[in-house]
């Protein structure tokens, strides 16, 4: 620490580049400060530092990191403390980003992240700091204030726990244990989703993921026939609606809460924090939201189960286009997800191509099967379940033809779900529909694709570039990847992780391994070495990353416009 003060006094008033002398490690009474990266000027990306406190100084219980889920929950809790403290303390002192502390800011989910790491030996926070300057002149005194006064205060407030923290962490541990227990029960019972009684599903607004707080919010209440009770390790058993594997429909009038329910199910692949309203809305982590996305690129995807004999004899076993239609994009999205091992399709009619979902009797008589390249999902959905074990949850308001193929039908009426399966089946039996089944004998083949290395060129001029630009865009070399259709992405730090993971996949690509195998390798590396490992700055401040699912990583790769798949299967 004395050394740090000496440097700061020496470089006071000098040019900004003098800050580079700070790089290195400094021992404070209670923690170690590691200065990993020093910014080139006050307007550039802020400097990156780590703060490491040894467990001997902390009062952390060893059972808080007993399981991976608990460890992630603890890290998330501590990160939120850092965010709060930094919010209160951080203020501008000078030009550019001078004086500012920043750290990754989580949303409503509890994700594995690189911002705070706790292990058996220490707790470490990875933060950013704008080293203060007037113009481009080092403000040594202000820097000293930040690093020698503010920083120890931040560390104390964030990492050193008070009575209230201990209670809250205990509560957090119980929450994630319970979430985990329900997930385990779900896989034993083969449930795709579990929505607890009392859950609050609607969100504050289209741009806020916080729970809707209004007098007239209707908490979720399971229909009696679908109600299940799950024993949990802490507290009373939890009851709720279990959606089993198979084909489930969510139907009902417009504005009655169908999409809200599906959206909660989509997000149930993640654990949520206390007070979110969706703490006990849990979904099979391999469920994938599928939507139409016209205009996207598709690279050699076998969409033949859904699309055949296109005009000009275009190949649909290795279908490529720079500009997909609504239906072909939705077919490609499904096939790409199956390729990576998706277990359940989540589909909302609001974001689907109608001609992909349904072809009714009248249309079948006028436009004969030979003239229609599309086999609609309704004719494939049962094969998909029976042959591939892939379930579906569909939101539908417009077509009752699906009653025939559904295993469960849930009616949303004024935000309250009803089990109307029997009634729907009755209606399907009573009314004769002339519709022809068009699905053929089998679902069709799933094809594993092999990506080639040359498709992963990240160079932009003399440098390589792979960066997140908000939640919906990745800059990868000369290309921008549009992620808007990946509706289960929740965090910019997931997007940053994906950008670097794509690069990793490119490094591993050898013209032999399939996309799924390559992706699996990257996740295995993360599992053994931690999420830090995908950062180019491994061993130092890794940047702000949170773990995405395989499906979103694959989704981004599939949308990379330079992707090249080996031809000939």
Choose the binding region for Mg ion from 67-75, 150-158, 253-261, 496-504 (rule: CB under 5 A). Answer: 253-261
Let me know how many helices (H) and strands (E) the chain has, helices first. Answer: 14, 29
State in angstroms the smallest separation of the CB of 397 from Mg ion.
7
Report d(CA 524, CA 501) in Å as an integer: 12
Pair of tokens at residue 472: 């919906």
Q: Does 415 bind ligand ADP (CB under 6 A)?
A: yes
Kindly identify the residues of this chain, within the stretch 178-197, that bind Mg ion according to CB under 5 A. Answer: none
- Compare residues 172 and 263 and give the one whose CB is closer to ligand ADP: 263
State in angstroms the smallest separation of the CB of 254 from Mg ion.
7
- Compare residues 81 and 278 and give the one whose CB is closer to Mg ion: 278
Q: Does 352 bind Mg ion (CB under 5 A)?
A: no
The binding track of 31-50 with respect to Mg ion, each residue x by CB under 5 A or -, is --------------------
Q: Which residues pair with 412 in a beta bridge?
A: 252, 417
Q: What is the DSSP letter of 46?
A: P
Helix (H, G, I), strand (E, B) or coil at 83: helix
Binding at 46: pick from ligand ADP, Mg ion, none (beta carbon under 5-8 Å per type): none
Binding at 535: pick from Mg ion, ligand ADP, none (beta carbon under 5-8 Å per type): none
Q: What is the DSSP letter of 374?
A: B
Contact 251, 260 (CB under 8 A): no
CA-CA-CA-CA torsion for 221, 223, 224, 225, nearest 10 degrees?
-150
Q: Residue 436's closest CA among 521, 364, 329?
A: 364
Decide the pairing of beta strands 473-476 and 466-468. antiparallel
Q: Does 517 bind Mg ion (CB under 5 A)?
A: no
Distances (CA, A) of 532 to 24, 71, 270, 502: 19, 15, 20, 15
Binding at 415: pick from Mg ion, ligand ADP, none (beta carbon under 5-8 Å per type): ligand ADP
Decide the pairing of beta strands 122-129 and 101-102. antiparallel
Kindly identify the residues of this chain, within the stretch 61-100, that bind ligand ADP according to CB under 6 A. Answer: none
Residue with the shortest CB distance to Mg ion: 259
Rounded CA Rg of the chain: 26
Q: Does 259 bind Mg ion (CB under 5 A)?
A: yes
Binding at 218: pick from ligand ADP, Mg ion, none (beta carbon under 5-8 Å per type): ligand ADP
Size of the residue set binding Mg ion (CB under 5 A): 2
Q: Does 278 bind ligand ADP (CB under 6 A)?
A: no
- Compare residues 8 and 411 and give the one whose CB is closer to Mg ion: 411
E strand segments, 423-493: 459-460, 463-464, 466-468, 473-476, 479-482
Choose the binding region for Mg ion from 14-22, 191-199, 257-265, 475-483 (rule: CB under 5 A). Answer: 257-265
State in angstroms the smallest separation of the CB of 321 from Mg ion.
28
E strand segments, 322-439: 344-348, 391-395, 408-413, 416-419
Q: Does 257 bind ligand ADP (CB under 6 A)?
A: yes
Choose the binding region for ligand ADP from 163-171, 255-263, 488-496, 539-547 (rule: CB under 6 A). Answer: 255-263
Report d(CA 233, CA 251) in Å as an integer: 35
Count how many Cα atoms sit within 13 Å of the Cα of residue 177 in the half-sphere of its side chain.
Answer: 16
State in angstroms the smallest separation of the CB of 420 from ligand ADP.
15
Choose the binding region for ligand ADP from 159-167, 168-176, 252-260, 308-316 (rule: CB under 6 A). Answer: 252-260
Binding at 260: pick from Mg ion, ligand ADP, none (beta carbon under 5-8 Å per type): ligand ADP
Pair of tokens at residue 342: 């998706």
Binding at 202: pick from ligand ADP, Mg ion, none (beta carbon under 5-8 Å per type): ligand ADP
The binding track of 212-251 with respect to ligand ADP, each residue x by CB under 6 A or -, is x----xx---------------------------------
Size of the residue set binding ligand ADP (CB under 6 A): 15
Binding at 181: pick from ligand ADP, Mg ion, none (beta carbon under 5-8 Å per type): none
Q: State the burial class of residue 39 (Cβ atoms within 10 Å of its Cβ: 0-12, 13-18, 19+).
A: buried
Q: Does 350 bind Mg ion (CB under 5 A)?
A: yes
Kindly identify the residues of this chain, within the stretch 466-525, that bind ligand ADP according to CB under 6 A. Answer: none
DSSP assignment string, 116-168: EEE-SSEEEEEEEE---EETTEE-HHHHHIIIIIIHHHHHHHHHS--HHHHHH
**Strands across the sheet containing 191-196:** 227-230, 238-244, 191-196, 281-283
Residue ranges in contact with ligand ADP by CB under 6 A: 201-202, 212, 217-218, 252, 254-260, 412, 415
Residue ranges in contact with Mg ion by CB under 5 A: 259, 350
């Amino acid at each position: 620490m004395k050394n740090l003060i000496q440097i700061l006094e020496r470089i006071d008033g000098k040019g900004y580049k003098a800050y580079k002398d700070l790089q290195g490690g400094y021992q404070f009474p209670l923690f170690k400060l590691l200065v990993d990266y020093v910014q080139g000027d006050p307007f550039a990306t802020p400097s990156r530092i780590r703060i490491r406190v040894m467990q001997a100084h902390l009062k952390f219980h060893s059972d808080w990191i007993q399981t991976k889920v608990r460890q992630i929950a603890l890290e998330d809790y501590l990160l939120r403390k850092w965010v709060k403290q930094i919010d209160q303390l951080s203020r501008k002192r000078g030009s550019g980003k001078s004086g500012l502390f920043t750290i990754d800011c989580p949303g409503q989910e509890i994700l594995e992240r690189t911002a705070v790491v706790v292990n058996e030996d220490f707790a470490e926070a990875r933060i950013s700091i704008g080293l203060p300057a007037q113009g481009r002149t080092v403000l040594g005194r202000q820097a000293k204030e930040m690093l020698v006064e503010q920083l120890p205060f931040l560390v104390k407030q964030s990492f050193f726990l008070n009575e209230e923290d201990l209670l809250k962490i205990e509560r957090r541990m119980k929450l994630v244990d319970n979430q985990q227990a329900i997930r385990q029960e779900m896989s034993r019972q083969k449930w795709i989703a579990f929505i607890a009684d009392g859950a609050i599903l609607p969100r504050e607004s289209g741009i806020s993921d916080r729970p809707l707080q209004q007098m007239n919010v209707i908490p979720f209440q399971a229909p009696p026939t679908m109600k299940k009770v799950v024993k949990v390790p802490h507290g009373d058993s939890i009851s709720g609606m279990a959606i089993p594997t198979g084909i489930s429909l969510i139907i009902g009038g417009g504005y009655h809460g169908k999409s809200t329910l599906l959206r909660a199910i989509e997000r149930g692949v993640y654990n949520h924090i206390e007070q979110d309203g969706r703490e006990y809305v849990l979904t099979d982590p391999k469920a994938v939201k599928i939507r139409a996305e016209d205009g996207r690129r598709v690279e050699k995807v076998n969409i033949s189960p859904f699309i055949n004999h296109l005009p000009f004899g275009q190949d649909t076993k290795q279908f490529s286009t720079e500009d997909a239609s609504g239906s072909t994009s939705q077919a490609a999205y499904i096939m790409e997800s199956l390729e990576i091992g998706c277990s359940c399709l989540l589909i909302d009619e609001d974001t689907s191509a109608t001609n992909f979902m349904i072809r009714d009797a009248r249309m079948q008589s006028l436009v004969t099967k030979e003239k229609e390249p599309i086999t609609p999902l309704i004719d494939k959905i049962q094969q998909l379940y029976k042959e591939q074990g892939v379930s579906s949850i569909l939101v539908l308001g417009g077509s009752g033809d699906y009653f025939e193929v559904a295993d469960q039908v849930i009616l949303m009426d004024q935000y309250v779900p009803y089990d109307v399966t029997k009634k729907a089946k009755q209606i399907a039996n009573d009314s004769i529909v002339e519709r022809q089944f068009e699905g053929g004998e089998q679902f069709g083949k799933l094809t594993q694709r092999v990506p080639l290395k040359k498709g992963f060129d990240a160079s932009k001029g003399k440098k390589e570039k792979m960066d997140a630009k908000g939640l919906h865009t990745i800059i990868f070399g000369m290309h921008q990847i549009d992620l808007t259709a990946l509706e289960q992405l929740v965090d910019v730090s997931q997007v940053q992780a994906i950008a670097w993971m794509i690069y990793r996949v490119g490094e591993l690509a050898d013209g032999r391994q399939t996309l799924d195998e390559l992706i699996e390798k990257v996740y295995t590396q993360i599992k053994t070495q931690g999420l830090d490992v995908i950062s180019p700055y491994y061993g130092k401040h890794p940047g702000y990353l949170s773990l995405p699912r395989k499906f979103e990583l694959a989704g981004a790769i599939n949308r990379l416009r330079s992707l090249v798949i080996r031809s000939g299967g």
